[in-house]
Amino acid sequence: MRTVRDEDGREFLLLKESGESSRLRDPETGEECHRPNDELTVVDGATPLETAASGVHESIRALLTATPSDRALGLLLDLDERGPTPARTLTSAYDLCESDLNGLLTQFRVAGLIEETRVAGRPGYRTTERAAEAIERLRDG
């Protein structure tokens, strides 16, 4: 498999190439089609697996990457439901040791899913629009 681009700039996964045409898969829809080879160019630096993943909305990919377990996903979902929450509340609200909680919060921050905030003058966290969008998309299924 390779990543190719058509004349309109759309990227596809090249599934099979013959003399005059190629069978392609659209990563966004999963639909397959045939296109003439002379209308396609190979995309340098794009791996086929990255192209395949591009069919999933970016916010959901970030959520999937940052939540390696049900506990992590549950933490993010609960934080989204609670709204801005003091860090001290998070420490006492869950059955996570402080280092595990901090590790998950760091993963969420790096992924752009939460941000630091102040709640009643104290340090806290809240989910970002990126997280809210991903959660909404997942729940709407």
What is the domain extent for residue 27? 2-55
3-state secondary structure of 89: helix
| Domain end marker among 36, 55, 74 | 55
Element (H, E) at 114: strand 114-119
> What is the predicted pLDDT for the residue at 128?
97
- Average pLDDT in the 2-11 region? 94
Same domain, 9 and 36: yes
Statement to judge: residues 26 and 89 lie in one domain: no
Strand 41-42, strand 32-36: pairing:
unpaired
pLDDT, tens only, 113-131: 999 999 999 999 999 999 9
- Rounded to whole angstroms, what are the CA distances from 15 to 18, 36, 122? 10, 13, 54
Shared domain for 70 and 106, answered yes or no, is yes
Q: Could you say which of 11, 31, 55 is where a domain stops?
A: 55
For the chain, the domain total comes to: 2
- For 26-67, write each residue's pLDDT tens digit: 999 999 999 999 999 999 988 999 999 999 999 999 999 999
Q: Are residues 73 and 49 in the same domain?
A: no
* CATH code of the domain covering residue 135: 1.10.10.10
User: Would residue 115 be called left, alpha or beta, if left means φ above 0 and alpha means ψ between -120 and 50 degrees?
Assistant: beta
pLDDT of residue 102: 94
DSSP string, 40-53: -EE-TT--HHHHHH
Q: Residues 64, 119: one domain?
A: yes
Residues 43 and 99 in one domain: no
**Residues 60 and 76 sit within 8 Å (Cβ to Cβ):** no
**Domain shared by 84 and 134, yes or no:** yes
